[in-house]
Amino acid sequence: MSGKVTKVSGPLVVAEGLADANVSDVVRVGRQRLIGEILNMTGDSASIQVYEETSGLGPSADVETTGMPMSVELGPGMLDNIYDGIQRPLPEIRAIAGETIARGTEVPALNREKVWDFVPVASVGDKLVTGDVLGTVQETSAINHKIMVPNGIEGEVVRIESGEHVVEDVIAVIRDKDGKEHDLTMIQRWPVRIARPYIKKYVPSRPMNSGQRIIDTLFPIAKGGTAAVPGPFGSGKTVVQHQLAKWSDVDIVVYIGCGERGNEMTDVLMEFPELKDPRNGEPLMKRTVLIANTSDMPVAAREASIYTGITIAEYFRDMGYDVAVLADSTSRWAEALREMSGRLEEMPGEEGYPAYLASRIAQFYERAGVVECMGSDERKGSVTAIGAVSPPGGDISEPVSQATMRIVKVFWALDSSLAYARHFPAINWLTSYSLYLDNLGAWYEDQFGPAYMENRNKAMSILQEESELLEIVRLVGQDALSANDRLTMETAKMVREDFLQQNAFVDDDAYSSYAKQYRLLDTILKYDEYAREALVKGAEIDRLFKIGAKEKIGRAKMIPQDRFEDEYDAIVAEMKAQIDEAAAGGEDE
């Protein structure tokens, strides 16, 4: 089944003589065997998007179909690794081609030589269905990789191996009801554009702890939920994504660098092996899969990278793990769609994007969720999808932001004016929202009692009030405000500066546990409460603003996790004493 190229226009190649090929088949183009995918077919001519640079390709070059759709290899060896958009391992490409990515480099996604210690779970005679665990492999120190029965196979185990094997070794044989025997290896293949199956989907009900105060306390995301982080350049999207990748309490993180800077991926590659997971002390890289299609890599592979990433995430979900997919940035993926659409001469929708943009975005986010996995042991797994959006000029009225907002449940709006004032994370507390508050309320109450959400709501209303008071101050000046309103402004400032601001580059501040978040906010709100009581007793407002404990609250977020409870108690006690003194002083005069 070999065709001939008739047209080359950038990443779009048209070839004829491919009547036997299927739409979405992966093809090899030209002497360099560039990897491509069939998008459309007319008669025997196929429009192919080529995932590598097509310079030097011309008519009459050979095109060969592999007869398979764009797929990924799933099995041990993906963690602690970095792939390009079509799952070629970059460290191995480097070993072959040097520092740059040469074309047509063929490397298997999973290392064929590496030996894994396969520990069988099933035994001969067991009746297994799709998704049942055959055995496990300790893939990294952090993750136990479950080898599952691939899709569409069920039957009786007639042989199962144990001990050291490479991924291509047959580790089990299953005989189906027709008596046919299936040799199973540790590798599964799955077409990236098709969601992996599950038994049942649930409404998300547990929060994903990110250690970021504004996220966990004000705008939480659920495990299995979806979120978008839109923001203009320089507002800290990537830092937010990196923070989530580092500190989220999920088992696996799939980080997709889609059309972004090469140095950002290098940063992750260098930093993650050094950082320890706060929950189990293992290096973070041991639970991370990186997909990198940096902005200088071929644009067509950018389109595939998002699907490659989410398919890998679904595979780990099927083992019963909680997985987070971070895609930075979905706008670059949408632009890749637009570029291919333009070359296919499709009728453009809004701003040149194809008319199917919104449905593609929805399809991607809908692959997130909490599910009961395939298999008979009722295990549950989740995929949480968080996408960065890079709206041109920071204006979220553009199609990608709008289509994303229609589907995601959490919206962390980054704000350039906050970033200019070096308020990080620059998530705007007035425009952001989380629609999971209702679903998660029960969890918070169960864990911390009703006070957690009460404090949260109180903080939100203080911030809201502040924005209204600021309008007045802008019109008539600070003096027009009552003492109570001035206190509200001061408390709001403390919430913003002493609670919401969080420095990703300071060790004791980068990650905040729920308990610390709660106590910190509670301390600030206690200041508000005590000071308000003191005002009633006639305390002078300026004196309340100047108490020494306030400076300590300002530094309280830097207090390490192991000491904060005692120190916060001390601050509250000191604050109470100083406020009482101010109140007493007020009465004397």
Q: Which of residues 507-546 bind another protein (CB under 8 A)?
A: 546
| Lookup result for tokens 């100047």 | 546
Find out whether 359 and 373 touch, Cβ atoms under 8 Å.
no
Tell me whether residue 153 or residue 473 sits nearer to another protein (CB atom): 473
Tell me whether residue 184 or residue 426 sits nearer to another protein (CB atom): 426
Continuous segment of H or E residues that includes residue 27:
strand 25-29
The contact mask relative to another protein for 272-291 (x = CB under 8 A, - = no) is --------------------
| Residue span binding another protein (CB under 8 A) among the ranges 141-149, 265-273, 402-410, 570-578 | 265-273
Tell me whether residue 183 or residue 267 sits nearer to another protein (CB atom): 267
| Lookup result for tokens 């308020």 | 423
Cα–Cα distance measured from residue 589 to residue 586, given in angstroms and rounded to the nearest whole number: 6
Tell me whether residue 177 or residue 474 sits nearer to another protein (CB atom): 474
Cα–Cα distance measured from residue 404 to residue 497, given in angstroms and rounded to the nearest whole number: 30
Tell me whether residue 72 or residue 426 sits nearer to another protein (CB atom): 426
Which of 139, 335, 466, 490 touches another protein (CB under 8 A)? 335
Min dist CB 90 to another protein, Å, is: 4
| Residue span binding another protein (CB under 8 A) among the ranges 57-65, 163-171, 376-384, 516-524 | 57-65
Residues between 11 and 50 that touch another protein (CB under 8 A): 14
Per the DSSP assignment, residues forming a β-bridge with 120 are 135
Find out whether 411 and 433 touch, Cβ atoms under 8 Å.
yes
The string of DSSP letters for 145-194 reads EEEEPPTT--EEEEEE--EEE-TTS--EEEE-TTS-EEEE-S-EEEETTS
Find out whether 221 and 410 touch, Cβ atoms under 8 Å.
yes
Residues contacting residue 446 through CB under 8 Å, at least 6 positions apart: none
Min dist CB 455 to another protein, Å, is: 22
Q: Decide: is 240 part of the binding site for another protein (CB under 8 A).
A: no
Min dist CB 182 to another protein, Å, is: 36
Min dist CB 14 to another protein, Å, is: 7
Q: What is the DSSP letter of 209?
A: P
Q: Decide: is 425 part of the binding site for another protein (CB under 8 A).
A: no
Residues between 106 and 165 that touch another protein (CB under 8 A): none
| Residue span binding another protein (CB under 8 A) among the ranges 176-184, 331-339, 399-407, 431-439 | 331-339
How many Cβ atoms sit within 10 Å of the Cβ of residue 1?
Answer: 14
Tell me whether residue 285 or residue 383 sits nearer to another protein (CB atom): 285
| Residue span binding another protein (CB under 8 A) among the ranges 109-117, 139-147, 206-214, 421-429 | 421-429
Q: Which residues of 446-472 are buried (b: 16+ CB within 10 A; e: fewer)?
A: eeeeeebbebbebbbebbeebeebeee
Q: How many CA atoms lie within 13 A of 126 on its CB side?
A: 18
Q: Decide: is 454 part of the binding site for another protein (CB under 8 A).
A: no
Q: How many CA atoms lie within 13 A of 36 on its CB side?
A: 34
Which of 119, 158, 421, 536 touches another protein (CB under 8 A)? 421
Min dist CB 142 to another protein, Å, is: 21
Min dist CB 403 to another protein, Å, is: 17
Residues between 65 and 94 that touch another protein (CB under 8 A): 82, 90-91, 93-94
Residues contacting residue 280 through CB under 8 Å, at least 6 positions apart: 142
Q: Decide: is 551 part of the binding site for another protein (CB under 8 A).
A: yes
Q: Decide: is 342 part of the binding site for another protein (CB under 8 A).
A: yes
Which of 39, 97, 166, 453 touches another protein (CB under 8 A)? 97
Q: Decide: is 57 part of the binding site for another protein (CB under 8 A).
A: yes
Which of 104, 416, 435, 529 touches another protein (CB under 8 A)? 416
Cα–Cα distance measured from residue 326 to residue 321, given in angstroms and rounded to the nearest whole number: 16
Tell me whether residue 8 or residue 72 sits nearer to another protein (CB atom): 8
The contact mask relative to another protein for 483-512 (x = CB under 8 A, - = no) is --------------xx----x-x-------
Q: Decide: is 339 part of the binding site for another protein (CB under 8 A).
A: yes
Tell me whether residue 301 or residue 370 sits nearer to another protein (CB atom): 301
Cα–Cα distance measured from residue 401 to residue 362, given in angstroms and rounded to the nearest whole number: 12
The string of DSSP letters for 277-343 reads -TTT--BGGGGEEEEEE-TTS-HHHHHHHHHHHHHHHHHHHHTT-EEEEEEETHHHHHHHHHHHHHH
Tell me whether residue 171 or residue 289 sits nearer to another protein (CB atom): 289
Find out whether 340 and 352 touch, Cβ atoms under 8 Å.
no
